[in-house]
Amino acid sequence: MNKSYQAVMGRKNEIMKKSVGIDYKVLEYGRISFDYEGLMKNVPYDLEDIAKIQSETKVGKTPLFELKNLTALVRKYAPKGKGARIFIKDEAANCSGSFKDRRASLSVYHAKKIGFKGVIAATSGNYGATVAAQAAQRGIKCIVVQEVYDSRKVGQPEILEKARKCEAYGAEVVQLTVGPELFYVFLTLLEETGYFNASLYTPYSIAGIETLGYEVAAEIKEREGKFPDAVVITHAGGGNVTGTARGVLKAGAKDTKIIGASVDLTGLHMASDNDFNKKSFTTGHTGFGVPFAVWPDRSDVPRNAARPLRYLDRYVTVTQGEVFYTTELLAQLEGLERGPAGNTSLAAAIALAKEMDEDQIIVVQETEYTGAGKHPLAQLSFARENGIEVKIGNPEENIPGKTIVIPENLGQMGYKEIDLDDLRKSYIKNAVNTYNVKEVEDVDVEFLAEDIKWTKENVAKTLKEFGVKVM
C-alpha cells in the first residue's frame, strides 16, 4: 500500500469511514449542506444511557459549588446592586481530572461494544489522558498522537506532563514536533492498526459532554428554583461549547445565555515552530477558538459534530495574566487549586459577574483539563526562559508572545467582546471558498442560518456580498 503523504491524504475519507463507522456522504445535501441532527443520531444512546455508561468508569455527577468568597470579592468591585452569584462545576472530580472524561467515555465504550481492539486520539495531551484512562478501564489498547516539541526538541512543562499522564494510564504515546505531520501520522496509524478513531469531533464525543450541560442546568434549577442566567464555557475546538449547550437545552433551559471564553493569543500561530513555546496555554485559546468557529470542518473527520456558532450567544476573550491571577484567587479564596487553562472561563465569569445583577446566577461549567503540569509557576518560569516578560500591572498591557501582565487586583479584570457577526461572515466565506460555489440552493441558506445562529436574510445578504447567487 502506498504510504506517501499524498496517497494517505487521498484515502482520508475511506480511512475515516472505517475507523469511525459513520458514512458521512449519506448526510450531504444541497451544494454545501449536511444533516447535522442526522449526524448526531448516529449515537445510539440517549442521555440516560450515556449517564449510566459514564458512571461505570467514574465519570459524571461532579460537585457543583457556589463560590461565595469569590462572589463577595466581586461585589466589592462592582456597582451597587451588581455582582452575580458565581457557581462552578468541579469537573476535576472525574476519574482523570477533566471534563474530557465525558467525551472520551462514550467513544471508548462504543469502540469496545462494536468490536474494536483499540482507540487512537490526536491531541495536545489533555484529551489523550482521558482516552487512555477510559481505555484502561474498558480493557482495550490506546495510542495517543501528540505534538510535544518545537524543532529544538524543547517542550512546555505542561505538555510534557500530559504525555507522562497518558503513559501512566498505559497508552502508547507517539510524540511529534509541531507541524503538518500530525494528521498524516494519525491517519497512517488508523490504517495500520484498524483501531477506532476516538476523535474530539465525532458525535460520540459531543454527546458525551451533553451530560455536563444537563447536570449544570438541572442542578441549579433544583437548588435555586430557576435555571442559570448564563453558563460560561472555555472555548477551543468547539466541542465543549457544543456539547454543554446541547445538554443545557435538553434540560429545558432555553433562556440561559451560552457564553464562550478563550485566552487571547492573537498573533501567535499554533502551527508555527517559532510561536509554539511562546504561548503559556496549550488549549482554550483563540488559536483554536477562532479558526474552529469560522470553519469547524477543518478537523480530522469529514463533518465536525462540534459547531460552536450554532449555540453561542456571546464570545469573549481574557488575557493570560488574568487567568493566572484567577488561578490564585480560586486557590486562596475557595481552597480549590485547579489548572490555569481550566480557569479561563472563570476569569471571564468574574468580569461578567461585575455587570450582572446580584440575584442572577452565572455558572462556570468546568474547572480542569487534566490536572497535569498546570501549576502557574512552572508555566511562568518557562515563559521567562522563552523571552516572555512576566510582571504585575494592568492586564490591558498583555501582548501575546511578549508580555504576561498579572493584575494587581480584581477590579482590573475585564474581557474583550468578539463580534459574532464578523465570525459568521468569515464562516460563510470559508464555506463558499471550500466548496467553490457560485450558486447555492434555498436549503443551503437554511442550513447556514441554523449552523451559525443567524437569520436567513443575513445569510442571503452575505452570500450576495461574496458573489454567490441563491437559486
Q: At residue 41, what are phi and psi to the nearest 5 degrees?
A: -75, -5
Is 172 contained in some domain? yes
- Whether residue 105 sits in one domain with residue 42: yes
Q: Which residue has the cell 452569584?
A: 85
Residue of 169, 151, 36 lying closest to 96 (CA atoms): 169
Q: Mark whether 396 and 437 lie in a shared domain.
A: no
Facing residues of 249 across strands?
Answer: none
Task: Answer yes or no: is 227 within a domain.
Answer: yes
The answer as to whether 15 is a domain residue is: yes
- pLDDT at 178 > cutoff 70: yes
State yes or no: pLDDT of 370 exceeds 70.
no
Cβ-contact 314, 259 below 8 angstroms: yes
Secondary structure (3-state) at 280: coil
Residues 416-430 have a mean pLDDT of 98
Q: Are 376 and 288 in contact (CB under 8 A)?
A: no
Give me the chain's average pLDDT, please: 92
Phi-psi category of 261—alpha, beta or left, where left has phi over 0 and alpha has psi -120 to 50? beta
Overall average pLDDT of the 53-61 stretch = 98
Tell me what the mean pLDDT of segment 144-156 comes to. Answer: 80
Q: Hunting for cell 479564596 — which residue is that?
A: 333
**In the structure, what pLDDT confidence band is assigned to residue 61 with cuts at 50, 70 and 90?**
very high
CA separation for the pair 85, 75 (Å, rounded): 9
| pLDDT value, residue 19 | 92
Q: In this structure, is residue 52 part of a structural domain?
A: no
- Does 80 score more than 60 pLDDT? yes
Q: Which residue has the higher pLDDT, 265 or 348?
A: 348
Paired residues of 143 in beta bridges: 120, 172
Residues 307-358: tens digit of each pLDDT: 999 999 999 999 999 999 999 999 999 999 887 767 999 999 999 999 999 9
Answer yes or no: do 80 and 112 share one domain.
no
- φ/ψ of residue 330, rounded to 5: -60, -40
- Tell which wins on pLDDT, 156 or 81: 81
Residue range(s) defining the domain that contains residue 140: 5-47+98-197
| pLDDT reading at 383 higher than 90 | no
Q: What pLDDT does residue 376 have?
A: 76
- Decide which of 169, 197, 225 is a domain's last residue: 197
Say yes or no to pLDDT of 375 above 80. Answer: no
Same domain for 270 and 349, yes or no, is yes
DSSP reduced 3-state for 406: strand
Mean predicted confidence (pLDDT) in 227-239: 95
**What CA–CA distance (Å, rounded) separates 164 from 129?**
9
Q: Which residues face 285 on adjacent strands?
A: 263
Do the Cβ atoms of 307 and 244 come closer than 8 Å?
A: no
pLDDT value of position 57:
98
Please state the rounded mean pLDDT for residues 130-134. Answer: 96
* Domains of the chain: total: 3
Q: Is residue 3's pLDDT more than 90? A: no
The DSSP annotation for 81-101 comes to TB--EEEEE-GGGSTTSSTHH
Q: Percent of the chain having pLDDT more than 70?
A: 95
Q: Tell whether 154 and 274 lie within a shared domain.
A: no
Which residue in this structure is represented by grid cell 477551543?
Answer: 236
219's CB contacts (< 8 A; 6+ apart) are 64
- Whether residue 20 is contained in a domain is answered as yes
- Mind giving me the DSSP string for 233-274? EE-SSSHHHHHHHHHHHHTT-TT-EEEEEEE--TT--TT-TT
Q: Mean pLDDT throughout 419-445?
A: 97
Distance CA 255, CA 267 (A): 35
Model confidence at 269: pLDDT above 80: no
> 371 in a domain, yes or no?
yes
Task: Note the pLDDT of residue 436.
Answer: 96
Query: What pLDDT score was predicted for residue 437?
Result: 95
Q: CA 352, 309, 36: angle at the middle one, nearest 5? A: 140
Least confident of 35-49, 143-157, 163-177, 257-271: 143-157
Q: pLDDT band for position 17 (50/70/90)?
A: confident
The answer on 183 and 259 residing in a single domain is no
- Looking at the fold, whether 187 and 230 belong to one and the same domain comes out as no
pLDDT of residue 285: 82
- The residue type at 385: E
CB atoms within 10 A of CB 194: 11
Classify residue 3 as exposed, middle or buried by CB count within 10 Å of its CB (0-12, 13-18, 19+): exposed
State yes or no: pLDDT of 268 exceeds 90. Answer: no
CATH, residue 223: 3.40.50.1100
**Claim to verify: residue 431 and residue 398 sit in the same structural domain:** no
Q: Are residues 149 and 110 in the same domain?
A: yes
Determine the average pLDDT of the residues in 246-252. 98
In the predicted structure, residue 372 carries a pLDDT above the cut 60? no
DSSP 310: G
pLDDT on residue 373: 55
Cα 458 to its chain centre, rounded Å, is 27
- pLDDT surpassing 70 at residue 278: no
Are 143 and 189 in contact, with CB atoms under 8 Å apart? Answer: yes
Residue 369 pLDDT? 58
Sheet holding 118-123, edge to edge: 172-177, 141-149, 118-123, 196-197
Q: What cell does 470 get?
A: 441563491
In a domain, 127, yes or no: yes
- Per-residue confidence (pLDDT) for residue 277, from 0 to 100: 66
Residue 150 lies in a domain: yes
Q: Residue ranges of the alpha helices (H) in 125-156?
A: 126-138
Q: Is the pLDDT of residue 206 over 90?
A: yes
Model-level pTM greater than 0.75? yes
Is there a contact between 329 and 276 (Cβ–Cβ < 8 Å)? no
Do the bridges between strand 314-318 and strand 257-263 make them parallel or antiparallel, or are there none, so unpaired? parallel
| pLDDT for residue 270 is more than 70 | no
Work out the pLDDT band at 1, boundaries 50, 70, 90: confident
> Three cell numbers at 202?
465525532
Write down which residue in 146, 176, 197 finishes a domain: 197
Last residue of a domain, one of 197, 214, 234: 197
Structure confidence at residue 184 (pLDDT): 87
Report the alpha-carbon distance of residue 214 to residue 209 in Å, rounded: 9
CA gap 119, 344 in Å, rounded: 29
User: Do residues 149 and 224 both lie within one domain?
Assistant: no
C-alpha cell at 310: 450554532
| Whole-number percent of the chain with pLDDT over 90 | 71
> 81 and 129 share a domain?
no
Q: Which triple of cell numbers denotes residue 342?
A: 481550566
- Residues 212 and 359 reside in one and the same domain: yes
